[in-house]
Structure 1
Amino acid sequence: MKLENFGLLATEAIEKMFQALSNDLGNGVSEEKAGWRPSADFGIGPPDQSELLRRGIVERNSRGQFRLNFKNSRIRQEFKTLDLQFEQLDCFLRDTEEVKKAQKVLKQITEMLQTTPEYWTYVIALGWWKMLEVSEMPARVDDILGEGFSPKDWMVKAPRSSSQLALNIARKYGEIEDFEGVINFLEKTRICNIQDVILPLPLNQDDVQKVMKVLKWGEIEAELTISNVKVLAFFWSFLFILKCRNSLPLSTEFSLKLNEIIWNSLENLLKEKQSNLLRDLENTVSTLTAEGIIWASDILYLPEII
């Protein structure tokens, strides 16, 4: 018997089961507990209950609740019209596990920073390096040309200065000589495979100074607060670690959930509310923009998790 022969009500019931599973998983309910509802919630009458159970399309728990038997591979083969729903469910199940792993790593990092505040130096160096590198260092063309760079040179050389500029920031908050300290930190804590850390070729100091002049880096550094530095560093370093571990969420729902988890950890670490931390960052960017550093918002920004 094909699904069409169950009638419209049975089809709608199965779609509601998909939605129940997705809602629960998106709200952090474990796979074992997700999707269970009274049959009335799915509009399943006794005749359909028996048929759906007999064919293994649904399962029933000890409380008499029902859910889609999503682990039954035969269902996927039989009901090809539901491929899209199964793909979405697979994505949610995968993200559920990845967010659990991410939470474990986040807990490890948070506890390390609480017990050993000196580790912030390495987190700052790592996070700022990735943020600056990804930003590609936007600046005024006239300023770029004025320091002897062609636009093509700038696109190559400016990102290569990212690790050195990041170290300059990190040294304000602790002792760190070079990026070997960051590598040793990652290796010691085992939160990331150090083979994934590929540093750009270092830029000579003359060019680094020119990059800093074009970016007005001294003015930018002068406006940064400690919360600006730590918030940006924490987000960007954690994003890098998740990428190394292939643990980034695939769905928007779990991206938002992970974002919330990261903010909870930061609030706990910095003893400050998310709204205040964001306002502080926005104020810094606004001040720099008012001073003519209009590219500040393209450099100092929080990453998209997904």
Structure 2
Amino acid sequence: MRSALGVDIGASGARAGRVGSSGLLGAMRRCRLGPALPREEVVRRIRALAVGVGGGGEVAAGVSFPAFLDGAGRVRHCVNLPGLEGADLRAELAPLLGHLPVLPIPDVSAAALAEARLGAGRGVRRLLCVVLGSGVNAGLTEAGRVVEVTFGCLGDAGHVIVAPGGRCPCGGVGHLEAICSGIGLAGAGRRSGFRDARALGRALARGDAAARRLVRAAGRALGRAVATWACMLAPDAVVLTGGLAALLGDELLGAAGRELARVGPPHLTAGLQLLRGQLGGSAALIGAGLAALDHVRGRNGRRRG
């Protein structure tokens, strides 16, 4: 079976594993990263991580990261790892990985691809995948291919406006990311006595009423965002994935679904399913590997929207 290296770069660390057409092959390895690291050290650690999981028969490497790609294939708007800003990962990593073809892909597009082919979106023609973590973004696939509008993905979908107020970390006002993200909920939680988003999640699991109110408010904001995206993208189903989605689970999903039913245009949102992702924290890594396999097979796993 042909396999590729899949690498998922996050704000605090990276993971790597071997990926085949059926998913992850064997165990993943991890390394620590951080915003203070210079680019050379980030690249060195990623190379060491990838070499450590490779079996020698990989045909390509896919690298997902929490940022965007510009028209020249360089990393842009990499807030969590500023050392990678402007990096050409294809050129910088290929010589360190035995000159394997390297395919960089935004993490939201990688996660969407994996959930569409191997996760909750299998069999769905047009799938919207919403990744809820420290921030928020969404990716779209059609017939198992990533739809790119700009930046190698849909764009910065987490900054859709869903409320009249609320300062977003980007400096704007009323964005989904200000309300329904790890950063947004951590801020709201601290004002209600919760130390961070994880503490909020633990309180929610205990049935705490204040935690439930905060999570339902975030879910309503998410439902309004999905209604807006549905007007433009007409998905057949929506998958919610990422650490925050896993932490807040059915309470968040239920509130989002109720708000979607209340505000969404019926001809586009009646019966639109909100599904929980099935691949967890491995989705972006698996999707990066799948995209790399597509690349070497000459299959275009992406299309311009």
TM superposition score category, shorter chain reference:
under 0.3
Larger fraction in strand? 2
Greater gyration radius:
1
TM-score w.r.t. length of structure 1: 0.28
Larger fraction in helix? 1
